Amino acid sequence: MATEIMMAKNPTLLRERQNIAVARGGLVGAQKRPNPEFQLSSESYPLFDSHPGPLINNSETILAFSQTIETAGKRGKRTAVAMQDVQVSQSSLEDVIRQLKLELKSRYFAVSLAKAQYDLAQGIVSEYDKVVKVNEARYKQGEVSGFEFSRLQTERLRFFNDVVEAELQLKNSKVALLELLGADPGITDFDVTDTLNSASPSIALPDLQQQALQARADLIAQRQRVERGSQEIRLQKSEAVPNITPSFGYKRTFNQNTVAFGVNIPIPLFNRNQGGVAQANAQLEQQRYEQTRVELEVRRDVQQAFNSVQAQNQRVEALQKTYVPSARRARDIAESSYRLGALELIGFLDVQRAYREALRTYNQALFDQRAAVALLEAAIGKDLPK
């Protein structure tokens, strides 16, 4: 749902779509033939004579039409270049969509993380308040010193600050998500349905790199630029062949009506568009080097994203199987021991902080795992199977 909204309303995407319209406009222009020319001229009229007489009978009047005929297939080659421009603009748009989808996933998961941290902070405060309430009764009965009870109340500020900061982060992450969707950032009364928990896909690295080399839109666009460079060389070579401009018309010489016709052919004696061909060849070499660079960049992106996914999977697994259960057991034991008087306040507070930090770290690890998978999907240019 969020992707559809972004595709319809994101200003960056709407702006980039206009590049396709621009390229298509260039294609329309490239397909057109030169316009015909109309010529009307009159000369040799004795304007300064005493009695020059009628213009039509005492001058040379020419009325002619001419049409430039493009040679060497210039129009077709020009059209081929323009068609490549359209394809490049379409692939460039797909690359923008790829990057925006990555940003959308990052901001969406940021909302999920903020929500998880907010729920965690509220839960910890709620549990802590139960301990405070029990100790308040013990304090009134003289079982707990005033200093210890005040220290317990003061420590609550740390957990309360977590709630405030988590709520702020949740609101701001929603604003960032709405901005990307092209929506009013003031509308924050919504919730995300996707949680941070998700199974990470298992795919071999060579398969991912091959998929990326076939699917990455920026690499496809660069290959199309190389093809455009080849088409541009053909066009520039055809410019060395002069166009032919035949003309035909009517000529009235004083009282005689005649027919006028002719042909205009430039002689390529000095300029045979050597400069244009040389520039096109150099630009093609540039695009080929750029293609090599992009291919290396794609392989690097996939390798780094794959490494990140592997590392985050290990981190999440360790937290799930070892550290979070251990922190939870320690918290439960500490609460029971503290209520029975077998554990001092400072030890109880240390365990509470460790438990809080373990769960916050776990939520962050889940976010990092989802973000790493999203980065890997962006690196290969398509979503991975669930």
pLDDT for 338 equals 76
Instruction: Report, as an integer, the average pLDDT of 292-319.
Output: 95
Determine the number of helices (DSSP H) and then strands (DSSP E) in the chain. Answer: 9, 4
Domains contained in the chain, number? 1
Mean pLDDT, the chain, integer: 90
What is the secondary structure of 264-326 as a DSSP string? E----SS-SSHHHHHHHHHHHHHHHHHHHHHHHHHHHHHHHHHHHHHHHHHHHHHIIIIIHHH
**Of residues 251 and 83, which shows the higher confidence score?**
83
**Of residues 199 and 306, which shows the higher confidence score?**
306
Does residue 159 fall inside a structural domain? yes
Instruction: Report, as an integer, the average pLDDT of 128-146.
Output: 76
Cα-based distances in Å from 30 to 89, 90, 277: 16, 18, 19
Does residue 117 fall inside a structural domain? yes
First to last CA, the chain: 17
Does residue 136 fall inside a structural domain? yes
CATH code assigned at 199: 1.20.1600.10
DSSP H helices in 141-262:
146-181, 205-215, 217-238
Tell me the HSE value of 133 on the side-chain side, using a 13 A CA sphere.
Answer: 6
Q: By residue range, what is the domain housing residue 64?
A: 2-380
Does residue 204 fall inside a structural domain? yes
Tokens of 27: 């294609």
Does residue 385 fall inside a structural domain? no
Does residue 386 fall inside a structural domain? no
Instruction: Report, as an integer, the average pLDDT of 103-128.
Output: 92
Instruction: Report, as an integer, the average pLDDT of 349-374.
Output: 92
Instruction: Supply the pTM of this predicted model.
Output: 0.85
